[in-house]
């Protein structure tokens, strides 16, 4: 039934609330991506194989059953906020959640001693001493649970006080683990973390105050209240979600792409793998940690914890490694072929692999059983595998493969 409905009307890009700032998010070109999916879709699930910020789940919600996958666990939480969250008579209000968190915060504020406070800063040197004192909390032994961010991240992207709020909200979230809005609570916390962070939208490096002007800018974020941003996003999100469960059958996994394809029964795969050498696990480790809340070992280099306080053994993607990317695409095309799925692949001409090489692989592996096409952002269809084609100048392309 769902397939029939979906086949007739196909899909459009619905508006959805944004929770995180995400490098490579397809939000801005979502219409283009969905046009590509409409070109090949002929029933079954849509598998978002590298879901990231789960923008596709946001845009497709209530239109088709989606399987959202990404190696990072935070992505599944974001996808669930879009796909399965709904409000009911037991849905907590933001006042209820924030009231509980505030009580916890009050019990823990004693950790923020005078030398950790930012209210009487009298210059750059003094500011940096306060920053350093905040960071020193990593040496402290805490006598209560839920202190992961206070211990590991005070004085980095957030202050100790902001971290106490982050930990408290994370603790309160657990009380709603069985509620359909549980992912919305965690996603709204991710939003609050993003907008109170002094960084530039990710968690690869926090900024140091080297000048008065950078100090002043960092201070703007140091003064922001986690509760304010949580409240804003949670209220927006609750207004936005349905009042009862809608389409059933969505699925969320945190698997490597090849394992995920192995278990996929067929449908349409949207693949948006990383394009460049930077690993998402480094840029978004703080999101992974707020979701897992597992007190990870932190990466050590030269006998010291690295400045970015990354998780030890974070994921290294083959799509970000020159010597592995060809093989990774090969495995991806094979997985698509094996499950007899259609494919929409996003890629950029500035990627880790030459477009020519990618096309050659697609032709070799999918060629005979698939109709292949390239779609540029100005909706021009281009021939695959022909050198000198116009698409060499195109930044963003979709490779479409429709099973015959
Ligand atoms: C370009 S981003 C996807 C962006 C997404 N389409 C959006 O709109 O937010 C690429 C994603 O691939 C994920 N990834 C990298 N290697 C992976 C692997 N081996 N298996 C599954 N996911 C992987 C990263 O965690 C990252 O979220």
Nearest Cα residue to 204 out of 314, 128, 106, 109: 314
Residue 157 and residue 201 in one domain: yes
What is the count of structural domains for the chain?
2
Q: What is the 3-state secondary structure (H, E, C) of the chain?
A: CHHHHHHHHCCCCCCCCCCCCCCCCCHHHHHHHHHHHHHHCCCCEEEECCCCCCHHHHHHCCCCCEEEECCCHHHHHHHHHHHCCCCCCCCCCHHHHHHHHHHHHHHHHHHCCHHHCCCCCCCHHHHHHHHHHHHHHHHCCCCCCCCHHHHHHECCCECHHHHHHHHHHHHHHHCCCCCCCHHHHHHHHHHHHHHHCCCCCCCCCCCCCCCHHHHHHHHHHHCCCHHHHHHHHHHHHHHHCCCCCCCCCCEEECCCHHHHHHCCCCEEEEECCCCCCCCHHHHCHHHHHHHHCCCCCECEECCEECCCCCECCCCCCHHHCHHHHHHHHHHHHHHHHHCCCEEEEEEECCCCCCHHHHHHHHHHHHHHHEEEEEEECCCCEECCCCCCCHHHHCCEEEEEEEEC
Ligand 1 atom 15: residue of nearest CA: 317
Q: What is the pLDDT of residue 388?
A: 47
Q: What is the pLDDT of residue 118?
A: 97
Residue 251 and residue 397 in one domain: yes
Q: What is the pLDDT of residue 1?
A: 38
Q: What is the pLDDT of residue 384?
A: 56
Average pLDDT of the residues of the chain: 92
Probe residue for ligand 1, chosen from 70, 256, 325 as the CB with the greatest number of ligand atoms within 8 Å: 70
Residue 119 and residue 80 in one domain: no
Asked which of 1-5, 72-76, 258-262, 291-295 is least confident by mean pLDDT, the reply is 1-5
For 19-32, the pLDDT digits (tens) are 999 998 999 999 99
Residue 236 and residue 251 in one domain: no
Q: What is the pLDDT of residue 375?
A: 86
Q: What is the distance in A from the centroid of ligand 1 to the CA of 279?
A: 9
For 53-105, the pLDDT digits (tens) are 999 999 999 899 999 999 999 999 999 999 999 999 999 999 999 999 999 99
Q: What is the distance in A from the centroid of ligand 1 to the CA of 219?
A: 32
The answer as to whether 25 is a domain residue is yes
Ligand 1 atom 12: residue of nearest CA: 50
Q: What is the pLDDT of residue 68?
A: 98
Ligand 1 atom nearest 258 alpha carbon: 20
Residue where one domain finishes, among candidates 177, 210, 240: 240
Residue 229 and residue 269 in one domain: no
For 177-190, the pLDDT digits (tens) are 999 999 999 999 99
Residue 205 and residue 175 in one domain: yes
Domain range for 55 is 2-84+247-279+315-403
The answer as to whether 141 is a domain residue is yes
Q: What is the distance in A from the centroid of ligand 1 to the CA of 273?
A: 5
Residue 101 and residue 21 in one domain: no
Tokens of 83: 């796909």
Q: What is the distance in A from the centroid of ligand 1 to the CA of 344?
A: 15
Q: What is the pLDDT of residue 386?
A: 46
Residue where one domain finishes, among candidates 212, 240, 268: 240
Largest CA distance in the chain: 71
**pLDDT > 80? residue 303:** yes
CATH number, domain of 63, equals 3.40.50.150
The answer as to whether 397 is a domain residue is yes
What is the bridge-based pairing of β-strands 304-305 and 342-348?
Answer: unpaired
Residue where one domain finishes, among candidates 190, 220, 240: 240
The answer as to whether 12 is a domain residue is yes
Whole-prediction pTM value? 0.94
Residue 119 and residue 198 in one domain: yes
The answer as to whether 193 is a domain residue is yes
Residue 319 and residue 206 in one domain: no
Residue 259 and residue 230 in one domain: no
Long-range contacts of 192-195 (CB under 8 A, 24+ apart): 192/166, 192/226, 192/227, 192/228, 192/229, 192/230, 192/233, 193/157, 193/158, 193/166, 193/226, 193/286, 193/287, 193/290, 194/19, 194/20, 194/21, 195/224, 195/229
The answer as to whether 374 is a domain residue is yes
For 184-208, the pLDDT digits (tens) are 999 999 999 999 999 988 999 999 9
| Euclidean distance between CA atoms 205 and 210, whole angstroms | 15
Residue 215 and residue 333 in one domain: no
Residue 375 and residue 340 in one domain: yes
Nearest Cα residue to 257 out of 339, 183, 323: 339
pLDDT, mean of residues 33-46: 96
């Amino acid at each position: 039934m769902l397939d029939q409905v979906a086949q007739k009307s196909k899909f459009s890009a619905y508006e959805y609330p944004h929770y995180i700032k995400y490098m490579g998010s397809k939000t801005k070109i979502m219409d283009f991506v969905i046009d590509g999916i409409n070109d090949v879709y002929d029933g079954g699930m849509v598998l978002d194989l590298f879901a990231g910020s789960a923008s596709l789940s946001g845009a497709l919600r209530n239109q088709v059953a989606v399987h959202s996958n990404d190696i990072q666990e935070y992505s599944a939480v974001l996808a669930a906020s879009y796909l399965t969250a709904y409000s009911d008579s037991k849905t907590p209000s933001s006042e209820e959640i924030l009231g509980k968190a505030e009580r916890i915060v009050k019990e823990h504020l004693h950790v923020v001693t005078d030398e950790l406070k930012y209210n009487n800063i009298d210059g750059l040197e003094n500011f940096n001493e306060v920053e350093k004192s905040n960071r020193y909390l990593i040496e402290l032994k805490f006598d209560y649970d839920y202190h992961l961010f206070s211990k590991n991240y005070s004085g980095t992207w957030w202050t100790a006080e902001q971290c106490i709020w982050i930990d408290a909200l994370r603790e309160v979230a657990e009380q709603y683990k069985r509620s359909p809005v549980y992912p919305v609570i965690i996603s709204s916390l991710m939003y609050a973390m993003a907008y109170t962070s002094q960084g530039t939208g990710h968690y690869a490096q926090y900024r140091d105050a080297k000048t008065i002007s950078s100090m002043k800018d960092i201070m703007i974020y140091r003064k922001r209240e986690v509760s304010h941003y949580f409240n804003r996003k949670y209220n927006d999100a609750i207004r936005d979600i349905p009042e009862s469960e809608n389409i059933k059958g969505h699925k969320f996994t945190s698997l490597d792409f090849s394992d995920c394809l192995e278990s996929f029964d067929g449908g349409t795969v949207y693949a948006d793998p990383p394009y460049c050498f930077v690993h998402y696990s480094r840029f978004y480790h703080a999101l992974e940690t707020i979701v897992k809340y597992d007190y990870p070992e932190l990466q050590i280099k030269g006998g010291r914890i690295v400045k970015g306080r990354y998780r030890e053994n974070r994921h290294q993607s083959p799509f970000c490694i020159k010597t592995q990317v060809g093989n990774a695409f090969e495995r991806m095309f094979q997985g698509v072929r094996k499950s007899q799925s259609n494919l929409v692949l996003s890629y950029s001409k500035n990627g880790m692999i030459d477009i020519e090489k990618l096309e050659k692989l697609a032709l070799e592996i999918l060629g005979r059983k698939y109709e292949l096409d390239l779609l540029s952002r100005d909706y021009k269809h281009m021939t695959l595998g022909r050198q000198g084609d116009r698409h060499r100048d195109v930044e963003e392309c979709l490779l479409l493969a429709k099973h015959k």
